[in-house]
Amino acid sequence: MDLIVNKSTYLSNTINTFRDFVKNEKVYKQINVIEEIDQAVNIVKTVLDDCNIELINKIESDIVLSMNMVSGELQQVIINLVNNAKDVLIENKIKNPWVKIELSNTPNLLKISIEDNGGGVPTEIRSRIFEPYFTTKHQSQGTGLGLHICYKIIVESMQGTLKLENTDNGANFLIELPHN
């Protein structure tokens, strides 16, 4: 029952976040970044478990860091990036699939890394990955807006950067957020 209530609350908040994003009505407030990340991780963990994908959570919950941001936006970015990784891992039939989330914090910069072992993003599409309506999925599975919205949230709403790099394992999305 608790899981159902948590998922329902998340879905309601998602609708509100998306509505505010489209209307450009953003309310900024001080938010505990680790709590935002933990909530996102708790939401995606169930889906990953159901798909037999290991979630490697390298985020230390004892870090205290508040940032001025719109509630729910960082969660949306993390959930979307993890869900995209899940889709690639399933599509590529990866043995022993995993998604790893890491965080590093310096006095002026927060870095969140989301990496998978799905083989990476092909070179020929890497430069287009954040474009609106660009998708490698079938029309019934994707709109091509997920990564574009993630990019807009991180760059425009949070004044950060969102980068894609391929690693020896697969794709790594790196979020960098400046803070005081």
Which structural domains are found in the chain, ordered by start? 2-178 (3.30.565.10)
Where would I find the H helices in the chain?
2-23, 33-50, 73-91, 123-126, 146-152
pLDDT tens for each residue of 146-167: 898 999 999 999 999 999 999 9
Give CA torsion, residues 3, 51, 122, 75, to 10 deg. Answer: 10
Give the phi and the psi of residue 113 in degrees, each rounded to 5. -115, 130
Give the chain's end-to-end CA distance (angstroms, integer).
Answer: 39
Share above pLDDT 90 across residues of the chain, in percent, rounded to a whole number: 54
72-98 average pLDDT score: 94
Place 132 in a pLDDT band, splitting at 50, 70 and 90: confident
pLDDT of residue 7: 62
Tell me what the mean pLDDT of segment 103-121 comes to: 93
* pLDDT given at position 140: 46
The gap from C-alpha 62 to its chain's centroid, in whole angstroms, comes to 21
